[in-house]
Structure 1
Amino acid sequence: MSSALHDDGADVEMWEVPRVKEARIEGVQWGAISAEEIIDRSVIKVTEATVNRSGVPITNGPNDLRLGTDDRQQVCGYCGHGIAKCPGHMAYVDLPLPVVNVAYRAHLLALLHCYCYVCSRPLVAKDTPRYHQLMPMDPSARVGVVKKWIRDSHAKRGGVSCPHEECGAQQPVYVEVGTTIQTNFRITEYGPDTPQFTPTDMYTMLSVIDDDDLRLFGYSPEHSHPRNWMWRVFPVMPPIIRPASKTGGGDNQLTSRISSIVKLSNDLRRFDTKTLETVQVAKYNGLLCAERVVNPNYEEPVDEKAARAAYISLCTALGGYYNSDYDSKQYHRGVASKTCIWSIYSGGKQGRYRANLLGKRVMNAARNVIGPSNGISIDEAEVPIYQCMKLTYPERVNAYNIVRLTQAVYNGPDVYPGANYVVRGEIRIDLTGYSGDRVVLRYGDEVHRHLIEGDYVTGNRQPSLHRWSVMGHRIVPVTGNTMRIHMAVTKPYNADFDGDEMNFQVARGEEERAEVQMMLASNNLIKNGSAIVCFVMHSLVSIYRIGSETSIPYDMVMQMVTESLDEGDELIHVERRPYTGREAFSLILPRNLTMRKKDVVIVDGQWREGLIDKSVANGPSGIIQVIRIDFGMKEAARFIRRAYRFLDVYGTRVRPFSFTSADTRVDIKAPEGTPDDQLRDVLGDMAMRQLESRPGRNNLIDMYRSGAKGSANNIYQICGALGGQSKFDGRPYDDFTMHYGSDAIIRRSYNDGLTPTELLTHARPCREGMASTVKKTGEVGRRHRQVSFTLSSLATMPRALTHDRTDYHQHGIRYHPQ
């Protein structure tokens, strides 16, 4: 604590805020949770299958009040807090027998093939050729190799024995059955003495595997010991995660699942210990088969048969809790059918993570279909009036705005621009159906008025792949039903107007408005040296073509310049004479602009030479970049606005742009002896020269040369030939070898048309490219969510450590204080 003197001489105490040291996250360690950790995190053991009795949660039931509550009228029986502060607490169900966790079943099946079921040692002994063959491999890849060796040995030699002399046990074959793993022994090896390998035996075997032997195959005994891949206790999530239906009057389906698991566990626990110790997974286990070899009339004891059926039902219920695919397996019919289980409840777009945690519903936001409008500035967005009347901005009444806000209150919520309600202290006055003249505003009142021109919003088009997917805009209220943005901002948003939708979030408060001003589209012009808010599509074609114009009438020049000006802009003097295209465009260039790029020369705002294409307009050291550096961000934004309006008039009234099939017609023929792999390039060059040599302008060539759309390869394929097709999965098209050869050369163009065989040949690489794009898009989204989930719960505490914010665990994250 320190002190300072105020302006009036008073001694004022000042508290120093402690500095929090920065910490670096070195890594995140995932792992399988152990039974001991589940019990340690839990507050109760669930023993009752009944959820409620007369509307009151049962003690030690799935909704025990000590687990928290999803009812706003109740408080947690453990921490004493209500639903707003209590995050909920875990519980557990004690299982009578170990059960395979379906999430690790494939890993467990592979691991069992690598260790002896008797001595729990690797089936590859040290100082053997196979052991030395494994050592250079990555530890995680060794499991698959050993599993293949063991299966081949079972198939070729009729079995595998433990390589250690003191053991030498014959190994079983492990097979997936339903939600668990079945152990099959060779009866001919043992006869009536076929050994049993129960779930308890499997758990014991996994528990005694040596740590060094686990690391041999890439497993971490500290973070993911194989014994934790089997449930001994089942974790029960708090009720806040599985709230009951308030309208349907029933329990949550996850809660019903937990109740079924508790009931099946209690049913299985009624059998005596000796019976439970003999429970096998297989419908006809090895021991039963061995008994029938000796006695064909042998029948399995009733208790053992019932216990095995109860255990399989429990396995299926636990598997079905996470994935409903296991409900329909052959061993179980009684637990609920395919309904809302955990994988459906939490996964996908409508799951709890993406729909509720990452995709929250928010207030003061609107979503609508977007359209183009070049009559606005690049940092403006047109919003329908009906949405401006729903969205409000809380404005504090003062001497400068009391007249305007009084009129808004008088108009009320149904007349634009009006207000929806007034907040005075703790009182909120709703103006719906209320006569506005009865409300007399006072200084300090908060009026929630309709949005008006100049208010700030943030626009967002999903998917949000980079920071330019969210930008700020000043709204312009308009009639109609759609939002409209400037064409120049379609590139950062990756937007088109074929039904795309965008979200607009109102900036409420002066701090938020200040932040949005820094996010305006005019402040986000440049990305990696190139303009990202820039010329696109028709504007690029027009700015390229106007450079070749030799004479534009005075009245059209006057119209183009007039359309480019806004109220308050400096007037531009236009002489009464025809203009060339370069002279006309120079009228809207900054006066002192001087630049040279490629063959384009601009001196003191006069375009002297060259044609402006995409690289000259938008690229590094291009027109937009030079104007931004020399004249500032606002001048660059003003130039983009003027140029779009100027070029709109030129491209629609002076030299309209459109192309037809006539622009692609050529009369060419490949020279004799042209190799197939050069056919497309030879014909394409011939077509390009013929198109460019024709009198007048060729619209297809202009679109390609300007950089608006297309490439030389597109013209080659339209006018010349499609040429060689890429190989499918790196393999040649064997089924087309007789007709085209191994590289599938297509000698026709799109103008000529394709035969059915050529169409199919061309469709295969097209389909491969589309599938690759779909896979890549999903992969990018998946990785983004992985990083988001990993980092979302991390917090830096005052002790200079990085922790997980949950109360349940504070480990698994390695931290390093700076």
Structure 2
Amino acid sequence: MSQGQAPKRIGSLSFGLMDPEEYREMSATKVITADTYDDDGFPIDMGLMDPRLGVIDPGLECKTCGKHSGSCNGHFGHIELAAPVIHVGFAKLIRRLLRGTCRECSRLCLTDDEKAEFRDRLDTTRSLGEDLGDVTKAAIRKARKASQCPYCGEKQYDIQHEKPTTYYEVQEVLAAEYSETIAAAMEGRPVEGEDEDVEREPMAPTDLAEETGIDLSRINEILSGEFRPTKSDRQALETALDVDLTEEDMNKLMPSDIRDWFEDIPDEDIEVLGVDSQKSRPEWIILTVLPVPPVTARPSITLDNGQRSEDDLTHKLVDIIRINQRFMENREAGAPQLIIEDLWELLQYHVTTFMDNEISGTPPARHRSGRPLKTLSQRLKGKEGRFRGSLSGKRVNFSARTVISPDPTLSLNEVGVPNRVASEMTQTMNVNERNLDDARRYVANGPEHHPGANYVRRPDGRRLKVTEKNCEELAEKVDPGWEVSRHLIDGDVVIFNRQPSLHRMSIMAHEVVVMPYKTFRLNTVVCPPYNADFDGDEMNMHAL
């Protein structure tokens, strides 16, 4: 935090989906070309390395904030997708919403009383601080049982999810062999799929016409296959002949269909599912705008031969832009629907692998060398990811690690620290009248002789490195108000840790005893809480 700025306390964090308009507003530029650099080595405007997205090359200036490399954090861009695509991270949520809402009016298939009941359950769960997932899943299960929409009366069909991002509506359609089935039933024979011993009364066309209310000429046309019966005629024939004239058909739902479906879901129905409609609308799960990460998040490196090597994310974005352009060109040229659907699937594949390149059932996107690309999800998860590798477990200053060895002459609360470690790790000493002589002695010893000092900080905030040449001169200047970074000395308190840190006693405080040689020394009686032994174990020490 910069000096002079009042400290702020974070009140709360809220998570939600981003509106496509918000992507466009936060974007520094629209990216339309897959090229990165021109022949002279400068970034191309509206390309993936546009200077408005941030700069990584020394000497160049960011066109958005005016800062140079190192001080500019980078800025997002955006790609306008030629067609909507599904965000693979929300595949299960999409399936849940499709199964729980009406295919015609998009209302949640629950009565008003049932909605009120689930709202009350959500409020209770929130007040107890428990997970809302169980309540929302129960609401979807209840809604899924409805065979008809309680609001518009439309018949509901089951939704099949073919991983990772394909959805089918399982509809009942007129069977291809409907005329043969009707003829067999009229003759009293068992129809396809029935047991041989099934018996039914033969029925003449005139009797069938009389019972169903369909014209005799129309019955003959249906039997000859010239006319496909309407829905009402089919139901009348099924009732009269006691047969099923339908078969299941998988109707593929395109991302644009799903987006239209979700756009019509009312806000009050979304809130029954525990979603804040102000921060997250379900149609935003279907992407129409793709954010482009800043250049600083995907820097390119220059190889020894002068060629540039691009980051994996940039490679993936190049694929997305190229397919996006091909899609638009083919659609404008009036290409056949089959080609359009193939390109749409390819665009979906590239956006999916840009988000997560380790989805089961989907071949991973690979580098030319055959190595799978590390995309957004792989940067975050796992031992080497951002959370475990860079945040929870990161390398820190003022720490040392070496092999441990036993020394029964040490007290239980002491740790033997090698001379070399004690000279490298420092404690900040605020100089005052009482410790002025000690501070000057440490600085005069310089960085090489223990106990010495490595740095001093003047009252004006300027930090000076202590060297063998300037140590005597600096020692005379040290006065109250200065800060001296002195070496560790006997009696300093440090934190000692052995991994894995399984319980509180895996990290304990010890007093320093500076000793010769290169290993940490500790009393053998202290081994059990650390679960340490001396067969090559290493331990960490942190100076306070």
TM-score, length-normalised on structure 1?
0.47
1:416-446 Cα deviation digits (max 9, x unpaired): 6677799998875755xxxx79976651379
SS at match of 2:83: strand
Partner of 1:264: 323
Q: For residues 388-467 of structure 1, what are the structure 2 equivalents within 5 Å?
A: 388-391=422-425, 406=444, 408-409=445-446, 413=448, 442-444=475-477, 451-461=488-498
Partner of 1:338: 372
Q: How many residues align?
A: 445
Partner of 2:512: 475
Return closer, same or farther for 1:311/1:48 CA change in 2, 3 Å cut-off: same
Contact 2:167 2:252 in 1 (8 A): no
Q: CA deviation at 1:366?
A: 0.8
Q: Which amino acid aligns with 2:387?
A: Y
Partner of residue 31 from structure 1, selected from 16, 31, 37: 16
Q: CA deviation at 1:463?
A: 6.1
Distance (Å, rounded) in 2 between the aligned partners of 1:373 and 1:259: 61
Partner of 2:417: 383
Return closer, same or farther for 1:331/1:74 CA change in 2, 3 Å cut-off: closer
Q: CA deviation at 1:203?
A: 0.5
Return closer, same or farther for 1:349/1:334 CA change in 2, 3 Å cut-off: closer
Return closer, same or farther for 1:192/1:94 CA change in 2, 3 Å cut-off: farther
Across the aligned residues of Structure 1 and Structure 2, the Cα RMSD in angstroms comes to: 4.5
SS at match of 1:326: coil
Q: Which amino acid aligns with 1:316?
A: Y
1:613-663 Cα deviation digits (max 9, x unpaired): xxxxxxxxxxxxxxxxxxxxxxxxxxxxxxxxxxxxxxxxxxxxxxxxxxx
Partner of 1:215: 271
Partner of residue 353 from structure 1, selected from 387, 390, 399: 387
Q: CA deviation at 1:64?
A: 1.7
Partner of 1:111: 97
Contact 2:426 2:486 in 1 (8 A): yes
1:199 paired with 2:255, answer yes
Return closer, same or farther for 1:135/1:363 CA change in 2, 3 Å cut-off: closer
SS at match of 1:76: coil
Q: CA deviation at 1:310?
A: 1.4
Contact 2:442 2:486 in 1 (8 A): no
Distance (Å, rounded) in 1 between the aligned partners of 2:399 and 2:475: 29
Return closer, same or farther for 1:40/1:486 CA change in 2, 3 Å cut-off: farther
1:484 paired with 2:540, answer no
Distance (Å, rounded) in 2 between the aligned partners of 1:196 and 1:401: 78
Work out which structure has the larger RCO, using CA pairs closer than 8 Å and 6 or more positions apart in sequence.
Answer: 2
1:88 paired with 2:74, answer yes
1:574-595 Cα deviation digits (max 9, x unpaired): xxxxxxxxxxxxxxxxxxxxxx
Contact 2:498 2:532 in 1 (8 A): no
SS at match of 1:264: helix
Return closer, same or farther for 1:438/1:210 CA change in 2, 3 Å cut-off: closer
Contact 2:441 2:475 in 1 (8 A): no
Contact 1:112 1:174 in 2 (8 A): no
Return closer, same or farther for 1:172/1:64 CA change in 2, 3 Å cut-off: same
Partner of residue 311 from structure 2, selected from 246, 252, 255: 252
Distance (Å, rounded) in 1 between the aligned partners of 2:494 and 2:38: 51
1:213-264 Cα deviation digits (max 9, x unpaired): 2223333312222112111111222122223335584111112222222222
Distance (Å, rounded) in 2 between the aligned partners of 1:430 and 1:239: 40
Query: Percent of counterpart pairs with the same letter?
Result: 27
In terms of mean alpha carbon deviation, does 77-86 or 231-240 score higher? Answer: 77-86
Distance (Å, rounded) in 2 between the aligned partners of 1:33 and 1:486: 57
Partner of 2:185: none
SS at match of 2:29: strand
SS at match of 2:90: helix
Contact 2:320 2:350 in 1 (8 A): yes
Distance (Å, rounded) in 1 between the aligned partners of 2:29 and 2:229: 45
Q: Which amino acid aligns with 2:102?
A: C
Contact 1:178 1:316 in 2 (8 A): no
Partner of 2:290: 234
Distance (Å, rounded) in 2 between the aligned partners of 1:83 and 1:317: 30
Distance (Å, rounded) in 2 between the aligned partners of 1:30 and 1:401: 51
The structure with the greater share of residues assigned to helix is 1
Distance (Å, rounded) in 1 between the aligned partners of 2:443 and 2:252: 85
Q: CA deviation at 1:119?
A: 1.4
Q: Which amino acid aligns with 1:321?
A: F
1:760-804 Cα deviation digits (max 9, x unpaired): xxxxxxxxxxxxxxxxxxxxxxxxxxxxxxxxxxxxxxxxxxxxx
Unaligned stretches of 5+ residues in structure 2: 123-131, 177-227, 231-248
Partner of 1:98: 84
Q: Which amino acid aligns with 1:314?
A: L
Distance (Å, rounded) in 2 between the aligned partners of 1:192 and 1:59: 60
Q: Which amino acid aligns with 1:228?
A: W
Distance (Å, rounded) in 2 between the aligned partners of 1:268 and 1:62: 19
Contact 2:455 2:463 in 1 (8 A): no
Q: CA deviation at 1:315?
A: 1.2
Return closer, same or farther for 1:74/1:367 CA change in 2, 3 Å cut-off: farther
Return closer, same or farther for 1:133/1:388 CA change in 2, 3 Å cut-off: closer
Q: For residues 540-555 of structure 1, what are the structure 2 equivalents within 5 Å?
A: none
Q: CA deviation at 1:374?
A: 4.7
Partner of 2:540: 503
Partner of 1:804: none
Unaligned stretches of 5+ residues in structure 1: 1-16, 154-159, 276-301, 507-515, 517-818
